[in-house]
Structure 1
Amino acid sequence: MTIIVTGAAGFIGMHVAAALLARGERVVGIDNFTPYYSVALKQARVAHLAATGGDAFTFADVDFGDADALAAALADVAVDRIVHLGAQPGVRYSLENPAAYVHSNIAGHVNILELARHRGVRHLVYASSSSVYGMRSDTPFRVADRADTPISLYAATKRADELMSETYAHLFRLPQTGLRFFTVYGPWGRPDMAVWKFTEAVLQGRPIDVYNHGDMLRDFTFIDDIVNGVVLALDQPPVDDGREKPGGFSTPHRLYNIGNNRPEQLTALIREIEAACGRQAGINLLPMQDGDVYQTFADIDDIARDLGFAPTTPLSVGIPAFVDWYRNDWLATPTHQ
């Protein structure tokens, strides 16, 4: 039997697929290389999986927002479990191209739910986001908190995914776990995220744009900790026992925060990047951007209690690991441009 990993050319998807392959699973990766950021980087991630996974890894270049194409690509695949990490990411881009979010995050999520329903999968783990909490002032963010005031279309689509998943859990008893990710970073990361952008600028001697004049808090979570949490969730599907689960559902569906449980000021991140790069950053202080939130802070009591999740990587370890990968691996490849 096979585990489907959508978004396998993406940052988290590649790392999760690699972890599953490393423990002997068969993985089918799905992605369609949208040009939201470097297609060369996405292709390099898939090449890495192909090189390390051998015959246990296959890849389907398919748009899961297209139901017919998805069904055709997986017609001969015996699906056991699904890790649905593919999506149109980015808060700010949703202001410019809302249709991409409706296609991938709404229609695409329904297509994955239909696939899971009709194939009788044992467990569907899917990506949500800390952005569903909106502009909350009370922290830490708890799964039990209301999440009905999103301030970006991206956040609204992720909350919609959670609600659609609950419908399928109720109607079809489909076991599901939704994971609200908190600011993930690490090797093979995303070029549109602060850690990559700041590192690149510092190494090139360019100033960095720092929003809200640097007064922002983020629960930066290292990729290895995230992967550990995803795999823990995948291996422990919710039980259909009628008891209320994190997220407030009594179906076989639950929601968890998955973060570092340690928010850091943006200025602390910049200091760690400066130290790892051995250079000082030039800084452009700017006002808050539309759609951004002031702070994120994950309460992880639920996932720690239920699954044993325990993040271990502080910025002082994670940032040097990213900078080392960026300098010595990514910049050394011919595809980084």
Structure 2
Amino acid sequence: MALPTTARVVRLTAEPVGLPAPDDFTVTDEPLPAPGPGEVLVRNRAFLVFPGLRTLIGGGGAGLPLPRIAPGDALYGPALGEVLAAPEDGPLRPGDLVTHLHGWRDHALAEAARFTPVDPDFPVPLALISTASAGYGGLTRSAGVRPGDVVLVTGAAGAVGTVAGQIARLLGAARVIGTTRSPAKAERLTAELGYDAVLVPGERPFAEQLAEAAPDGLDAVLDLVGGEQLTAAVDAARRGARFALVGALDGQLAPGRRGGDAPAVIDSFRVVTLGLTLRGFTQPDHPDLDAEWRERLAGWLRAGRLTVPWTPVAGIDRAPEALTRLLTGDVFGTTVVEL
């Protein structure tokens, strides 16, 4: 079979004013070289749309673990693909499924080390490109969820939160509370994904809602939002509570910001007197996490104990629109572009 000689690639063409819009991107056909020594060619099946792109595109924040994206640059991110060509002396063969970070294109060419093989028996390969692994890492590494805990997950309707509530329950949490901007999403989270209560901060004072949902306080928090929700969570924490700070949606979804901050007023006296722990979580700090997550995710999926909700988008030409929909809250769960 002849290998493809062109690839469709999504590039940033203009620095967005406010939230990125479809007109800020182009989808172009570009030459695709033949694989060189040690290189693997992959046909992508799907790639992830994730809010962190707002930060990479917007130029906010400092010390980011991933390269920024400037006008003219191609977008990138987690993807699932099928190997078309690979070195004969390497571990990959045509037909193998792999995950990698060369998304936002229909074909990827890179060194073999850039691709991670997917076990042929893995039950839902697409689940491996979801950012739900960050929720697992935050709950197990930073927050250390224990049996009987009351757990809060802010930003519960996204890729991380829709799975994190289920993970918290699997880890033994006695009560799991979430937050979301949408009453309709709140209903889905309680009806479909096992949340005991889901709060909508804009409806009435968030601190008041939180006090009603967790009258005895919080033991563990997976914070994906920052801002006022983190402030209220600290105020609702009980002695020894552990916070995993994983996301910054308060800043990434704000049109007037650049996606690189989520300021919160923290009562430091309360942190000291109650012995609270606030720890930031990033996956590169935990190189052992990926293998552990893949094993546990496979087991939970096979047993029917966990589900990964999706918002699928058909075709690479709709990818820029999918990012806009994600940032304006018009999606639920993990958003993927299917090719």
Task: Provide the TM-score with structure 1 as the length reference.
Answer: 0.32
Task: Provide the TM-score with structure 2 as the length reference.
Answer: 0.32
Query: Larger % of strand: which?
Result: 2
Query: Larger % of helix: which?
Result: 1
Task: Pick the structure with greater CA Rg.
Answer: 2
